[in-house]
Structure 1
Amino acid sequence: MNPLISVIIPIYNVEKYLKRCLESVVNQDYKNLEIILINDGSTDNSLEIATTYKSKDKRIKVFSQINQGLSAARNSGLDKATGDYITFIDSDDYVSKDYVSYLFNLIKKNNFRSSFAIASLMDVFETSGRKISTGNNKEYTWTGKQCIEKMCYQDLVDTCAYAKLGTRELYKNFRFPVGKVFEDIGSTYQLFEESPTVECGFKPIYFYNIRRNSITTDNFSKRKLDLLEMTDKMAADVIKHYPDLEPATIRRQVYARFSTLNQTLNAENTSQMCKLRKNLISYIKKNKKNVLSNPNIPKRDRIAYKSLELGLPFYKLTWLVYSKLNK
């Protein structure tokens, strides 16, 4: 019999998307599932929807807690999981019918040599309906170190918690940082560090819903600065394990500053905001030589630097055009 696989789904005020998510999970072609729904203090009809699905499918378990955030909800799911393998799905996203079986077969194919498997996302823009694959439909067996390096360059390997399957043992001492956004960048790398080999199948089987009011796309707030903290934490830890990956981690730290700068471009020009922009630009320029001398950086890094050299107004215009082309 196939091993039991725990699917952990945190839920918070997603009544608009939850049915689609749960339908994609209960209809998996891999049947031996434990579907753990963590209701993180929802104030809409999400809990009612979850309870209804539980009454129809005995594989579903529903737990409720006061609102503590995404990381705490995922951690609660880890505490309650009893499966031999664990995967995460966010409740506003959905997955292909073979999501679980594809990931499990990746681990299975080399006589279970690897304890971790990853796949790719299909970015789905909610407003336009446009879909963009982040994968190349190829399969590789890489070391955990290779995955971290590629993650830093955003080369096929993503930082996200989802679109991954790992053994229960791999997640035994793993926890997401509570109270932080961009928590994935500050935690997922640890799974790679603990994985001598990783089975990578870059087929887009996870449909990532990009919506305007999500954590990563709404207007700037101080919480967005967590990206810098989480990225710097990752960089410091990775360098301890793999000193030769420092160029890759610097690139990722600079990318985090560019990303945060982009979030501030339409914010009010208060003295505090101007100081933040100044600090971000200072960091970016300080590491310019290290980044641009790195042959592995994406082309957009070079474009970003060239645009910034022409001044912040020109950079803002360039970013606006880039964003429209990609949305």
Structure 2
Amino acid sequence: MKENLISVILPIYNVSDYLDRCMKSVINQTYKNIEIIMVDDGSTDDSALKCDEYKEKDDRIVVFHKENGGLSDARNYGIKRASGNYITCIDSDDFIDLDYIEYLYNLITKYNVKMSICQHRVLYSNGKVKEFGKNGEEVLSSKKCLERMLYHDVIDTSAWAKLYDRRLFSDVEYPKGKLFEDIATTYKLMLQCDEIAVGYESKYNYLVRRDSIVNCSFNPKKFDLLEMTDKMADDVLKLYPDLKKAVLRRQVYARFSTLNQMRNAKGFDNNRKHIIFYIKNNKDILLKDDKTPKRDVLAVKLLMCGYPIYKVCWHLYEKIKK
């Protein structure tokens, strides 16, 4: 049986220092029938030049140069021009195990599904590696997969570490100009599937960069997290109203994440008050849900003691975590 063509979408913007490692991992995949779509999103370093150099070395590589439009725009641009039956997205500052595509594709074919998921490792700048993988695999209903994603139970919202039937993108795009674009998109792809295959081995390597968009100092764009999460919540509840607890947990989690990022920012007092009010107003449902992670339960209780106490405790937590 002829192998399906798989399109690898690589949005690229000023990642010259990381691109070689990423491309080496993609070019040397054990699954060979791939097209590698490099979308240079208006890079100002030598990333654009490197893209053209790679194109000359491997006829599976297609390069597009476009004006800067952001990560979502670059992903959409590449997906629309993909020829493969299946699509996987990789961030060009990350890299993948050599059997990443083969692993995800085997899950698709074994269970006859439209989407598969693998796990990832987190690589920190100090050399520390956090491993999320383990052995095993299973097939989940779309609803169960969504529930676990909402609880952040192994399954996450990231665009990467997943393989998609290209038809899932027929009416779905990543929201241009928004941060946390995957939160607004991954659930829409899941909703189109009857079942989703989940593999628990880590095959994707995620690099934590201090200069990344998400990790930079707080700015109003980071409130996109709340907008994206609430839109996801509304759409999921329309179809699965019994997932209310899971949806609420995700919405509260988004508030905590934003609250933590803005704790040293000035000029956002009203936003901070609204976020704290939301968390406190929904604390009972969260505390009574036995699926709520212990960290979130503790965070709620600390916040009830007052924001200054919570702020100090979270700072200590981050120091211990690092």
User: TM-score scaled by structure 1?
Assistant: 0.96
What is the rounded CA distance, in whole Å, between the counterparts of 1:317 and 1:218 in structure 2?
21
Which digits, 9 at most, give the CA deviation of each residue in 1:113-150, with x for residues without a partner?
Answer: 21110011101112x11111223332110011111100
Q: How does 1:222-241 map to 2 (within 5 A)?
A: 222-241=220-239
Q: Which runs of 5+ in 2 are unaligned?
A: none
What is the rounded CA distance, in whole Å, between the counterparts of 2:135 and 2:129 in structure 1?
15
Match of residue 323, structure 1, among 311, 318, 321? 318
Measured after TM superposition, the shift of residue 20 of structure 1 is 0.7
Q: Which amino acid aligns with 2:90?
A: I
Which digits, 9 at most, give the CA deviation of each residue in 1:81-117, with x for residues without a partner?
Answer: 000110000001000000000000111113xx21110
2:283 match? 288
1:9 match? 10
1:189 match? 187
Measured after TM superposition, the shift of residue 247 of structure 1 is 1.0
2:122 match? 123
1:61 aligned counterpart, secondary structure: strand
| Identity over aligned pairs, percent | 50
1:208 match? 206
1:167 match? 165
Which digits, 9 at most, give the CA deviation of each residue in 1:173-219, with x for residues without a partner?
Answer: 22111110001111100111001000000211100011111122111
2:83 match? 82
Measured after TM superposition, the shift of residue 322 of structure 1 is 1.7
Q: What CA RMSD, in Å, does the superposition of the two structures yield over aligned residues?
A: 1.0
2:145 match? 147
2:156 aligned counterpart, secondary structure: coil
1:33 and 2:34 correspond: yes
Size of the aligned set, in residue pairs, is 321
1:170 aligned counterpart, secondary structure: helix
2:270 match? 275
1:304 match? 299
What is the rounded CA distance, in whole Å, between the counterparts of 1:83 and 1:210 in structure 2?
30
Are 1:137 and 1:204, in contact at CA under 8 Å, matched by a contact in 2? no
1:135 and 2:133 correspond: yes
2:178 aligned counterpart, secondary structure: coil
Are 1:39 and 1:64, in contact at CA under 8 Å, matched by a contact in 2? yes
1:17 aligned counterpart, secondary structure: helix
Measured after TM superposition, the shift of residue 165 of structure 1 is 0.3
1:137 to 1:318, Cα distance in 2 relative to 1, 3 A: farther
Measured after TM superposition, the shift of residue 310 of structure 1 is 2.1
2:110 match? 109
Are 1:4 and 1:33, in contact at CA under 8 Å, matched by a contact in 2? yes
Are 2:29 and 2:98, in contact at CA under 8 Å, matched by a contact in 1? yes
What is the rounded CA distance, in whole Å, between the counterparts of 1:139 and 1:130 in structure 2?
26
Are 2:88 and 2:160, in contact at CA under 8 Å, matched by a contact in 1? yes
1:229 aligned counterpart, secondary structure: helix
Are 1:120 and 1:206, in contact at CA under 8 Å, matched by a contact in 2? yes
Q: Which amino acid aligns with 1:185?
A: I
Match of residue 248, structure 2, among 240, 247, 250? 250
What is the rounded CA distance, in whole Å, between the counterparts of 2:50 and 2:37 in structure 1?
14
What is the rounded CA distance, in whole Å, between the counterparts of 2:78 and 2:319 in structure 1?
37
2:17 aligned counterpart, secondary structure: coil
Which digits, 9 at most, give the CA deviation of each residue in 1:16-61, with x for residues without a partner?
Answer: 1111111110010111110000011110110111111111011000
What is the rounded CA distance, in whole Å, between the counterparts of 1:210 and 1:324 in structure 2?
16
Q: How does 1:63-102 map to 2 (within 5 A)?
A: 63-102=64-103
Measured after TM superposition, the shift of residue 320 of structure 1 is 1.3
Q: Which amino acid aligns with 2:187?
A: Y
Measured after TM superposition, the shift of residue 285 of structure 1 is 0.3
1:54 match? 55
Which digits, 9 at most, give the CA deviation of each residue in 1:232-291, with x for residues without a partner?
Answer: 0000000011111111111100000000000111112x3xx1111111100000100111
What is the rounded CA distance, in whole Å, between the counterparts of 1:137 and 1:36 in structure 2?
31
What is the rounded CA distance, in whole Å, between the counterparts of 1:178 and 1:50 in structure 2?
23
User: TM-score scaled by structure 2?
Assistant: 0.98
2:262 match? 264
2:59 aligned counterpart, secondary structure: coil
1:179 aligned counterpart, secondary structure: coil
Measured after TM superposition, the shift of residue 171 of structure 1 is 2.0
Q: Which amino acid aligns with 1:116?
A: M
Are 2:280 and 2:304, in contact at CA under 8 Å, matched by a contact in 1? no
